[in-house]
Amino acid sequence: MPDGDKKLDAKARYSAGVLEYKKMGYWEPDYLPKDTDVIALFRITPQDGVDPIEAAAAVAGESSTATWTVVWTDRLTACEKYRAKAYRVDPTPNNPNEYFAYIAYELDLFEPGSIANLTASIIGNVFGFKPLKALRLEDMRLPVAYVKTFQGPATGIVVERERLNCYGRPLLGATVKPKLGLSGRNYGRVVYEALKGGLDFTKDDENINSQPFMHWRDRFLYCMEAVNRASAATGEVKGTYLNVTAGTMEEMYKRAEFAKELGSVIIMIDLVIGYTAIQSMAKWARDNDMILHLHRAGHGTYTRQKSHGVSFRVIAKWMRLAGVDHIHAGTVVGKLEGDPATTKGYYDICREEQNSVSLETGVFFDQDWASLNKVMPVASGGIHAGQMHQLIHYLGEDVVLQFGGGTIGHPQGIAAGATANRVALEAMVYARNAGRDYLAEGPTILAEAAKTCTPLREALDIWKDVTFDYASTDAPDFVPTTSVS
Amino acid sequence: MRVTQGTFSFLPDFTDQQIHEQVQYCIDNGWAVSIEYTDDPHPRNTYWEMWGHPMFDNPDAAAVVYELNECRKVYGSYYIRIIAFDSSPGWESIRLSFIVNRPSEEPGFKLSRTEVKGRNIQYSITPYSSDKPQGSRYK
C-alpha cells in the first residue's frame, strides 16, 4: 500500500482540519467483512484527477459517519465500529473511468425493519457528492440477522397459489386499457370479459386512483361485480388488482378496507408511495390475508442508466424485505428495458431461497433470504401469445404474465384475446412437461394448439411480426467466456 | 359450461397417454402424485376426496393411470383431478393439478347477490348441482 493510503495515529487523525477520507479510516483494504455486516457495491465514476480509492473512501464516509472535516466528537463514540469501510476497489471490465467499490457497514448502523433508515444512509447525501461524477448502487448483501427484522412478502408465492387454486403454470393477467378515461361501468366490462375469457387477474394501471372520470369506490364496486361474475362463469378463483394508491396513508387504508369488505383477493400499490408506506401496506396485507401487488412506477428514473442511480436488483431486494407479493421485474422480450441476463438476476432475487454470486446475471453477493417468502415477479409491457415459448423459457413458471394490449387488442374481442393467451400458455406448459424442446419448437406448438382455437390463430396472425429488439442500457459487466480445453 | 380449474382445462381433454406423460414429468421431479374426486366443483372447495394416499414412492406413471381408471369405474360421473405434491423445503405444496375426468354435463354456478348498505353487494357462488345431496349430483 502506498504510504499516503495508510491510517494515521490518533493524534494526527483527530487534529482539526481537513483530511482525506482514506486517511480517516474509511479505507481498510485488509478488512474482512463480518457475517453480520451489510455490504454495498457501488459503481463509482470519480471526477477527473480524483483517486478511485479516495473516492471509494469518501462514499463510505458520506454514507456512514463522516462529514467534510475532522470533528473531535468522533472520539466520544466507538467511531471505528460505526465507520463504513471501503475494503476493495476494482476497475470495471468495460469502462476505464468507472470502478466497483465494496463497502461494509456495521449492523448497528441500521434500525431493524426499516427500509427508510437503510436507504437514508446508503443512498442519502452521498449521491450528490461533488468529487464523484456519478454513483450507482449495484448490489447489496443483507446479513441474515438484518433480513430477519423484516416481515417479508405478506403472502408469498406458495400461499398465493394455494389461495388462487392455481398451480403448474404462470398466472395470466392484463392491465385494463385505456389506462385513463374509462368510467367505472365501462372499466368493469373489460375486467369481466378478460377474466371470463381465461385470465386469472386483471389490473389497474399505476395512475388509476380516483379521478373525475372514475372515482375509486365506483371502480371497486364494478370490478368486484365483474370478478364474481367471471368466477361463476368458469368455476375458478379470479382477482383484480385494486389500486389503493392515494395521497395519504389514511386514504389508502380506507380503500384497502373497502377492497377487503368486497371480497377482493388482491390489492395494489405503486412504488412512488414510498418505502415506509409500502411497509405499512405490507403489514396491513399480512393482517388481512390480502395479496399485495407492487407496480414499480417511477423506478426507471433511477434504475435505467448504468452509471448513476440504483440498480433494480437492489430495489427488488428492498421490496422483498419490505413485504410485497408481486413486483414488475421485466419481460426480456417486451417493450420495456430488460437484458435477458440482468432480468434473470432480478427474478432470482425475487424467487430463490438463497442467491449465489453470479456475475453474468449481475448478482455480486451470496444472499441468504432466511425463509422470507418469495415474491412473484410480474412480466408486463408489449408481450403477446406468439412469444409464449420465450416467456416460459426466460421467466419460468412462477411469474404473472400480463398481456394488456395482447388481450384487449384482439380482433375478436377481449374474451377471445384472453382465451388465446390461456390456450397458448397451457399448450406450451403441456409441451414442456411432455419433454419437447419447446423453445425451438415454440411456433410449431402454438400453431398446433391454434388448430382447435380460432382466437389463438388470429392472435398469432395479427402479432406475428411484433418484436422490440433494441440495445439494452443495463447489461451485465461480466460475460461468461467459453474456455478451450 | 366447462369448469376450467387446473393447469390444462383450456386444452382438449387428455387421453390416458397424455395423462401418463404429465404424471411421469411429476414423478421425475420427485413429486408425489395423487388422485382426488368430487361432485362439488366450487372454486373454494379445497379438499376433494382422496382416492387413496399420495403415491410417494411410485416410480411409474402407469400405476397412477391404472388407479385413475379404477377411480373412474366408481366415480366416472364426478370430477377427478391429478395432483402432484412437492415436499421440498420452501415449497411443501402442490406443483401441478389438472382435471382428468368431468361429468358429461356441467350445469355451472349460480351467482347470488345480496345488496347491503352503501351499494355494496355480497356475492356467493353455488354450483347448481349442489342443490342435490352429495352422491346424487351427477349421473
| Per-residue pLDDT reduced to its tens digit, B33-89 | 999 999 999 999 999 999 999 999 999 999 999 999 999 999 999 999 999 999 999
CB contact under 8 A, A233 and B108: yes
Q: Is the pLDDT of residue A178 over 60?
A: yes
Q: What pLDDT score was predicted for residue A435? A: 96
Per mean pLDDT, which range of A73-82, A413-422, B18-27, B63-72 is the poorest? A73-82
Number of alpha carbons in the 13 Å side-chain half-sphere of residue A77: 13
> Which chain B residues have a beta carbon less than 8 Å from that of A423?
10-11
Contacts (Cβ under 8 Å, ≥6 apart) of A20: A4, A54, A57
Q: Is the pLDDT of residue A286 over 90?
A: yes
Helix axes A414-433, A184-197, angle to 10 degrees: 30
CB contact under 8 A, A169 and B7: yes
Q: Is the pLDDT of residue A35 over 80?
A: yes
* Cell numbers found for residue A347: 427474478
Q: What pLDDT score was predicted for residue A103? A: 98
Residues in chain A: 485
pLDDT grade, residue A4 (50/70/90)? low
User: Exposed, middle or buried, A422 (CB in 10 Å: 0-12/13-18/19+)?
Assistant: buried
Looking at per-residue confidence, does A381 or A182 come out higher? A182
Looking at per-residue confidence, does A154 or A127 come out higher? A154
Q: What pLDDT score was predicted for residue A303? A: 92
Q: Write b or e for each residue in B33-44: b if 16 or more Cβ atoms lie within 10 A of its Cβ, otherwise e.
A: bbbbbbbbbbbe
* Chain Cα centroid distance, residue A51: 33
Residue with cell 458520506: A62
Is the CB of A480 inside 8 Å of chain B's CB atoms? no
* Beta carbons within 10 angstroms of residue A289's beta carbon: 12
Alpha carbon distances (Å) from A447 to A96, A404, A405, A442, A458: 49, 22, 21, 9, 11
Do the Cβ atoms of A397 and A426 come closer than 8 Å?
no
pLDDT grade, residue B109 (50/70/90)? very high
| A238: nearest CA partner in chain B | B43
Q: Are strands B49-50 and A400-402 parallel, antiparallel or unpaired?
A: unpaired
Helices (H) and strands (E) counted in chain A, each on its own, are 18, 15
Q: What pLDDT score was predicted for residue B119? A: 85
* Cell numbers found for residue A70: 475532522
Q: Is the pLDDT of residue A461 over 90?
A: yes
pLDDT grade, residue A382 (50/70/90)? confident
- What positions of A carry a catalytic annotation? 177, 295
Q: What pLDDT score was predicted for residue A336? A: 67
| B10: nearest CA partner in chain A | A423
* Beta carbons within 10 angstroms of residue A411's beta carbon: 11
* Cell numbers found for residue A148: 430477519
Is the CB of A231 inside 8 Å of chain B's CB atoms? yes
CB contact under 8 A, A237 and B43: yes
What is the rounded CA–CA span in Å between residue B41 and residue B107? 11
Chosen from B3, B5, B7, B42 to mutate, greatest number of chain A CBs within 10 A: B7
CB contact under 8 A, A161 and B93: yes
- pLDDT, mean of residues A59-68: 89
Q: Is the pLDDT of residue B132 over 90?
A: no
Q: Is the pLDDT of residue A5 over 90?
A: no
Alpha carbon distances (Å) from A112 to A140, A151, A310, B72, B87: 16, 11, 22, 56, 32
- pLDDT, mean of residues A266-293: 98
Q: What is the pLDDT of residues A408-431, one digit of tens each?
A: 999 999 999 999 999 999 999 999
Number of alpha carbons in the 13 Å side-chain half-sphere of residue A351: 19
CB contact under 8 A, B43 and A169: no
- pLDDT, mean of residues A375-400: 93
Helices (H) and strands (E) counted in chain B, each on its own, are 2, 6
How many A×B Cβ pairs under 8 Å?
Answer: 103
Q: Are strands A132-141 and A309-310 parallel, antiparallel or unpaired?
A: parallel
Q: What pLDDT score was predicted for residue B61? A: 97
Q: Is the pLDDT of residue A1 over 70?
A: no
Q: What pLDDT score was predicted for residue B136? A: 83
Q: What pLDDT score was predicted for residue A479? A: 76
pLDDT grade, residue A448 (50/70/90)? very high
> Which chain A residues have a beta carbon less than 8 Å from that of B41?
235
- pLDDT, mean of residues A434-462: 95
Alpha carbon distances (Å) from A92 to A179, A305, A309: 41, 16, 17
Q: What pLDDT score was predicted for residue B11? A: 97
Q: Which residues pair with A44 in a beta bridge?
A: A99, A135
- pLDDT, mean of residues A179-203: 96
Q: Is the pLDDT of residue A364 over 80?
A: yes
Mean per-residue pLDDT of chain A: 93
Residue with cell 411484433: A466
Q: Is the pLDDT of residue A465 over 80?
A: no
